[in-house]
Amino acid sequence: MLRYNIVLGGQAGQGINTVESVLVKAFKASGYHIYATKEYMSRVRGGINTITLSVGSHPIRSYSERIDILLPFTAGVVDWVGDRLHSNSIVLGDAEVLPPQISTEHVFPLLWQSEQEKKSYIKQINTLCAGLVAALFNLEYDLLELLVRDEFSDKTESVVTANLDALKHGSLQGEKLKQQQKWQFPLTADTTVRDHHLLNGSEAVALGALSAGCNALSFYPMSPSTGVATFLIQHAETFSLAVEQYEDEIAAVAASVGCWYAGGRSLVTTSGGGFALMEEIVSLAGMSETPLVIHLAQRPGPATGLPTRSAQGDLNLVLYAGHGDFPRIIFAPSSIEEGIALSARAFTLAERFQTPAFILTDQYFVDTYYCSANVSLPQAVEPTIIKTPAEYRRYALSPSGVSPRGIPNYGNGIVLANGNEHDEYGDTTEAIDLSKLMPEKRMAKYEKMIEEALEPELVGADDYTILVIGWGSTFANIKQAVEELNDPRLALLHFSQLYPLPQSVIASLDQAQTLITIEQNFSGQFADLLQRDYCCRIEHRILKYDGRIFSTELIVQRLTEILEGVSL
Amino acid sequence: MKISPFDSSRPGSQEISWCPGCGDFAILDAIKETLTALQRTPQQTAVISGIGQAGKLPHYIHSNGFHTLHGRAIPIATGVKTANPQLTVLAVGGDGDMYAEGGNHFLHALRRNPNITVIIHNNQIYGLTKGQGSPTSLPGMKTTTQPRGVTAEPLNAMAIAIAQNASFVARSFIGDKELTCDVLRQAVEHNGLAIVEIFQPCVSFNKLNTYKWYAEHCQRIENHDCSDQAAALALALAVDPYPIGVLYRSGKKKTFEEQLPSYRNDDTPLWQRRVDRDALQQLLASKK
């Protein structure tokens, strides 16, 4: 599949996002499919951040590490991404930021007629480079001009003019280079792309929550989870949301539980370290049978770890969070579109089963976006709240384990919730029968939860003998790799619900002679879960734990090594 | 005995597990009396408690309630108020609950100003865990875990709250039932965060701060302008005797919940609301 990977690299605060913003809009308006992801350092100024922007004639969903065009805006970028360059990579940048040794011959320093000219453009080098790239891809100059005006619409006229000059200069250089080097980037425009939605993972989680009737948000800021909060707060007035940044994660999740208890639909967003503080309240939600929805955007731990990078290392944390036994649901969306659907589903199921539900994403997921024709908003499910009768018992025993949920001041009853073991009314008890019946009631919910668990997605041969297993945000990258390998023995089974798992997993695992798991953590946490619950042995674990995401290329390479060792 | 709409007939309410003579009994009565006098209904009321002997209070009252975790009553009560501003919300707990485990929440509630009443049963000792020192234990008091005597400075929550310009700050002693009911009535009626600390003897573990001791060491506040922050702070810093009554009322402040985007136009509880699908579709369309 034809795609071009353009990488922008610069210091934090240097404004590479401006180039990204202008180019993304320009490509989309021109009918090209786009995909973008970023990796960045945990600092406000300096360092090196990069954005990978892929353009193509067809939908792009996976991360490819190969760089076709690199635009370094600061010294060090070329070396930082050095292993992603190949002999045909094109590097375009000011001579001062280019190192002497580069693993490609196609290095083109920006041309300046004079020091004076360089000085006059260097402040607008972002816009200049946008013009340059746009010219290489034959994007309409008028369109670019419009987008640049729009980008700087809140700035003074002199800033706009300076940027338009830079755009022109970049465009002319691009035209010249293209002709000199006889470069061609043939892409077929697809006019429907203009109507596609462009959402990142944070926005998907937030939109899913809103469509499920989320009306409150409580959080404490923590990368990479804060994007969800920022988005909801931007739209808090429109949707009348009760949003609050609390003093710590404990208060944030506690307020969320209080909100659900009284009939709100609250979202908590956090990352691993913040979630570690929330555990006792998760346990309280489990015991008091209060719905709770937590979005956890993973980053590498332990402790502060790599604050701005990606990982799938908090599955165990979420799986085992909270003391004692209580049911829980864990989703890990595998695409932006599914991010919306599963965020909404987390609300629906948390409310129906009156128990915690998790949306497990990661930095890669929240910071990645692409244009999609398949974005839709799920319908809100009506709340399951009942009007309480005078003799209402919050924890009435029932075979399904689910008691009708009342809320304060709706009906004649009173609603008594409790974190201590309790009787049917909610009063604390140590009675021997209730001490046994109540845990059984809570855990009985699993039966229905398993029945309704999402089936994993199978990609590849139905009659596979080698099964690759993945979960969450790595889906498109693994799928692309499995498709490229085109091995008839091979299939991918990808999970978007991690707990509880559907019954079908038993047969899926049994069919395979070889199991290979792919995870972004050190130990293989999902593999361990499968081994724990399904008596299988997973020897082949492709693991990555450096905070950088699995590229399709890397997965192909690692799978190839394993496949070579598996006898036909 | 007077029948209160807040008397509970639930089986779990029939045997109260507080020690005979515990100040918590009188606090429970005072709360019921106050709510009845203010014509609140059990349905409109939610009593959110933490952990400890005071935390058991929701089990002995006919009202909505949530017996939560140690230290977490305030943020959970704030969440309850967030979901439904029409409820009368009380957060109850002891000195360990509110000032030790929940200390950070206490501080930030003062800033946030939710319209809830926080009632701190202050007996200057840990009761349920059987006699360890608490944040308000007096220096030198010997306990099972501080056998050589408590060394830390007692936490002066009243002074902290006043310094932080909390909207309503009061202290009482449960031996003065009339004053306690009066303070509670003002607190519940107050529009904003109301902090009420009630001295309440622990008859089992605190042999120092007894009914007699409190009676000798507390004095009703008289001739005090409770809008005067400096005067209120001076009163709060006094320890012998401890001034009891309403210490401080800040000037008019907006409550937390009325400033939330959800309640700018009306106070309809969240559960009665539905998402604006048109706005949602528009938002999605803006992402094209």
* Closest Cβ opposite residue B43 in set A203, A288, A408: A408
> Contact A539/A330 with Cβ under 8 angstroms?
no
ipTM comes to 0.98
User: What CATH homologous superfamily does B16-255 map to?
Assistant: Thiamin diphosphate (ThDP)-binding fold, Pyr/PP domains (3.40.50.970)
pLDDT of residue B3: 84
* Amino acid (one-letter) located at B14: Q
| A217 and A233 Cβ atoms separated by less than 8 Å | yes
For residue A568, pLDDT beyond 80? no
pLDDT in tens, B276-287: 999 999 999 999
pLDDT digits (tens, 9 = 90+) for B81-118: 999 999 999 999 999 999 999 999 999 999 999 999 99
Residue B1 has pLDDT above 60, yes or no: no
Residues of chain A with CATH 3.40.50.920: 457-565
Domain A198-372 is in which class? alpha beta
Containing A205, the helix (H) or strand (E) segment is helix A201-211
Average pLDDT over residues B166-189: 98
Domains of chain B, residue spans: 16-255
**Mean pLDDT, rounded, of chain A:** 96
Q: Do B262 and A258 touch (CB under 8 A)?
A: no
Q: So what's the pLDDT on residue A14?
A: 83
**How many Å apart are CA A38 and CA A49, to the nearest integer?**
7
Q: What is the DSSP letter of B6?
A: T
Residue contact A254–B76, C-beta within 8 A: yes
- N-to-C CA span, chain B: 69
Give the rounded percent of residues in chain B with a pLDDT score beyond 70: 99
Domain with CATH 3.40.920.10 in chain A: 3-193
Interface A:B, Cβ pairs < 8 A: 231
Q: Are strands A514-519 and A466-471 parallel, antiparallel or unpaired?
A: parallel
Whether B52 has a pLDDT exceeding 70, the answer reads: yes
| pLDDT tens-digit series, residues B166-176 | 999 999 999 99
Per-residue pLDDT tens for A330-373?
999 999 999 999 999 999 999 999 999 999 999 999 999 999 99
The pLDDT value recorded for residue A382 is 85
Let me know if A43 is exposed, middle or buried by CB neighbors in 10 A (0-12, 13-18, 19+): middle
Shortest CA distance to A479 belongs to which of A529, A428, A522, A518?
Answer: A518
Closest chain B CA to residue A286: B68
Please, which pLDDT band fits residue B9 given cuts at 50, 70 and 90? very high
Task: Please identify, in words, the CATH class of the domain defined by A457-565.
Answer: alpha beta
How far is residue A28 from each of residues A19, A31, A129, A489, A548, measured CA to CA in Å?
14, 5, 18, 38, 27
Q: What whole-number distance in Å separates Cα of residue A214 and Cα of residue A395?
A: 25
* Amino acid making up residue A3: R
Are B83 and A260 a contacting pair at CB < 8 A? yes
CA B174 to chain CA centroid, Å, is: 14
pTM for the model stands at: 0.97
Mean pLDDT (chain B) is 96
- Quote the pLDDT of residue A1: 67
Considering only CB atoms, which chain B residues are within 8 Å of A385? 271
CA distance A24 to chain B (A): 12
Length of chain A in residues, anyone?
568
Contact call for B75 and A246, based on CB within 8 A: yes
CB contact under 8 A, B275 and A210: yes
Name A492's bridge partners.
A459, A468
Residue range(s) in chain A whose domain bears CATH number 3.40.50.970: 198-372
Q: Give the 3-state secondary structure of residue A97.
A: helix
For A74-114, what is each residue's pLDDT tens digit? 999 999 999 999 999 999 999 999 999 999 999 999 988 88
CATH dotted code for A3-193: 3.40.920.10
Cα B271 from Cα B67, distance rounded (Å): 22
The span from the CA of A453 to the CA of A245, in Å, is 33
CA A195/CA A497 separation, integer angstroms: 30
